Amino acid sequence: MCGVGWVRADALLGDRLNDLDRSSATAKGYGHDGGIEVQPADPQARRRAMIVLAVLTPIALLATALTIAYLARVEGASVGDPQAALRRFGTFMLVGSSAAALLCVGTAAYVARICGLALRAERFPPPGVPTVREVRVMRGTSAKRMAAVGMVLAGVLALAGLVLPLMVWRLLVLLGRGA
């Protein structure tokens, strides 16, 4: 079960591709016996992902429209009272960067949890974790390497999320908003 983009390579090359994949699978850490282990897609996880996207897309569009309208009002108010406009803009930036920070830290925690499970199980994706599409299962050193890279990326994402509001606050101080 090997796919290249949207084309099923099995249909094009038949068993020849499967034989080639099996011969190198053990070296890549895909399976114990050289066979490629595939974790099937979870239909419920796919359905949940589609529902989340269907709900979040209009919310994101509404938030974008409200942000544009708010910033236009702040820009209009800057003519009469630039300091008040800067304070309103500063509050907006701090709230926005704090929301982004929460999103970054939450995503980092989720990625770290999945990678921690993978490190303990020496299998990626870890057992019991639903996937939205078929995924080749990695075992051994390949799985540990993937999990370690994920842990590093989760740490970088969490750090970026924590630093973002501080950087925005510092920028606002430099612009004259004050603390």
Name the residue ranges covered by the structural domains of the chain. 45-175
Q: What is the rounded CA–CA span in Å between residue 19 and residue 13?
A: 11
pTM score, whole prediction: 0.70
Instruction: Tell me how crowded residue 104 is: count the other CB atoms within 10 A of its CB.
Output: 20
Most confident range (mean pLDDT) of 7-16, 22-31, 50-59, 166-175 is 50-59
How crowded is the C-beta side of 92, counted as CA atoms within 13 Å? 17
Over residues 94-117, the mean pLDDT reads 95
Chain-wide mean pLDDT for the chain? 82
- pLDDT tens, residue by residue, 131-142: 999 999 999 999
Burial class (CB in 10 A: 0-12, 13-18, 19+), 16: exposed
Q: Which of 78-82, 119-123, 126-130, 147-151 has the lowest mean pLDDT?
A: 78-82
Which amino acid, 60? A
Q: Which of 5-19, 29-43, 129-143 has the lowest mean pLDDT?
A: 5-19
pLDDT of residue 34: 56
Q: What is the rounded CA–CA span in Å between residue 61 and residue 111?
A: 26
Q: What is the rounded CA–CA span in Å between residue 100 and residue 53?
A: 18
Over residues 6-33, the mean pLDDT reads 46
Phi-psi region of 14 (alpha: psi -120 to 50; beta: other; left: phi over 0): left
Burial class (CB in 10 A: 0-12, 13-18, 19+), 123: buried
Reply yes or no on whether the pLDDT at 60 is more than 90.
yes
